[in-house]
Amino acid sequence: MSKKNETPVLLIALLATLLLIGGGLWWFGKRLTNLGGSTSSNFPSQTAPPLDQNAVAARFSAGEALLVPEGPAPNPTAQSQKQAGVAAMAAKNYPQAVAAFEAALQAKQNDPEALIYLNNARIGDQKAYEIAIAVPLDTDVDASLEMLRGVAQAQDEVNQKGGIANVPLKIRIVNDGGTPEKARQVAEAIVKDQSILGVIGHYSSDMSLAAGEVYNQGKVVMISPVSTSVKLSNFGPYVFRTVPSDFVAARALANYMLNRLQQKQAAIYFNSQSAYSQSLKSEFASALSLEGGQIVSEFDLSNPGFNAADSFKQATQQGATVLALLPNSGQLDRALQVVQVNQQRLTLLGGDDVYAPKTLSVAGAAAQKMVVAVPWHILANPNVPFVKSSRQLWRADVNWRTAMAYDAADALIAALAAGAQPTRQSIQEALVNPNFASQTGASGTVKFLPSGDRNQGVQLVTIEPGKRSGYGFDFVPLSNNP
């Protein structure tokens, strides 16, 4: 065949090749788009399903629906009265709702959901200032109830005194689902609802970090009573907290280990999937190394292959004399397995998520003498008015989560009172004012640093035999805290 005849054939072949390459690139690009692909994993998929607004709305209640599950020991009388109360609230029959919620509290006095709804029913259609409390009812009912009790008590007290400049305080309970994604969804709904002037929450640091981005963008104040991750410091002008950061707790634990125990080698147990646990672990390791201590081994409780006995054996072989248990609440069970394996052979230290009834009931005698850093303890604050009033209201001792939630509500109430016509913006301006201070907190004055943190120390507690908890062991303040 001549060169003249070859030329058209070569051109056709070249065109065919180009078409095949172009078609392949087009198909691959479409495939990436359908999979939600992006040049950066920081950008969300453009094909994500639309948010179910009804499902998000069902996570909110000012008394029109019950959000708190009944729990393992239901009270049929209290529950039926609460059901009657929410039905009356939904029908705007406020006198009937008041009667029903009062009856529910007669049957179960320590129910913060019923008390919040009762105070909301007493307000009815009157003008009120409204704030929200976001709690993880899907994942941690006990912690949610602890936070709700603090907010319910603050609302009850301020409304009994006539409200804020004669305007009562209304509370909206929000179930944030216990995940960052759902926390972000409810935060977006809160920002859109202009009647909500501020937020108390969220629970875990992961949820507060996710929701905090939304609140900063929407210019709504969030005060977390529980989230301690150092990442929340200077997170934005609308993010505050009444609980000390992990920086403070970690240094208290490290100081106790080095100076009181005279020990220098520790093994750390943590959850790599938790911002809180990661934060506390990093801060503890830094504090220890700066003072001449050493982390001899680290164990990730979220590892599917984690084995408590094997990790303990490895820790002792590597010279650990102290075990630092720094899990989030989701990995507390695995941390307690370590406590059982240890059987008091090595000294135990713990982060604030270890401060839980489960630690006393499950670990029992094996957890004796463990030292835990918490923001507040009721036995260390016997003369604070909050202690007496909380015992009268709930007929029991409350813990640090209730106290810090009370302080968060107290701070918002003070910020609301600072403006003649409070708005979201005036609340934020009041909280960042250097002269701002709420004097009636459970743990003293509530005042915020420019970082949004509260300038406050921690309380070291230990586990000893006792009757207060009902499990045979109690958390009690450690004498001569550093």
Q: In whole angstroms, what is the distance from residue 189 CA to residue 470 CA?
A: 40
Token pair for 38 = 């992006």
By three-state DSSP, how is residue 469 classified? coil
Q: So what's the pLDDT on residue 388? A: 94
Angle ∠(69,52,46) on CA atoms, nearest 5: 135
Conformational region of residue 43, where left means phi above 0, alpha means psi within -120 to 50, and beta covers everything else? beta
Q: In whole angstroms, what is the distance from residue 200 CA to residue 132 CA?
A: 6
Q: Are 175 and 224 in contact (CB under 8 A)?
A: no
- In the chain, the amino acid numbered 79 is Q
Say yes or no: do domains 50-243+378-451 and 246-374+459-477 share a fold: yes
Residues 6+ apart with CB under 8 A from 14: none
Q: Side-chain half-sphere of 154: how many Cα atoms within 13 Å?
A: 30
Token pair for 478 = 């450690």
pLDDT beneath 70: ranges in the chain: 1-51, 480-482
Q: In whole angstroms, what is the distance from residue 473 CA to residue 481 CA?
A: 20
Go through 108-136 and write b for each residue having 16 or more CB atoms within 10 A of its CB, e for each that does not.
beebbbbbbbbbbbbbeeeebbbbbbbbb
The CATH architecture that domain 50-243+378-451 belongs to is 3-Layer(aba) Sandwich (3.40)
Token pair for 401 = 């989560």
Q: In whole angstroms, what is the distance from residue 163 CA to residue 65 CA?
A: 24
Structural domain spans, the chain:
50-243+378-451, 246-374+459-477
CA 56 to chain centre: 19
Q: In whole angstroms, what is the distance from residue 131 CA to residue 169 CA?
A: 8
Q: So what's the pLDDT on residue 472? A: 96
CATH topology of domain 246-374+459-477: Rossmann fold (3.40.50)
Q: Side-chain half-sphere of 20: how many Cα atoms within 13 Å?
A: 6
Residue 459's DSSP bridge partners are: 374
Q: Are 241 and 454 in contact (CB under 8 A)?
A: yes
Q: So what's the pLDDT on residue 70? A: 87
Q: So what's the pLDDT on residue 51? A: 55
C-alpha distance from residue 82 to each of 65, 77, 106, 145 (Å): 9, 9, 11, 16
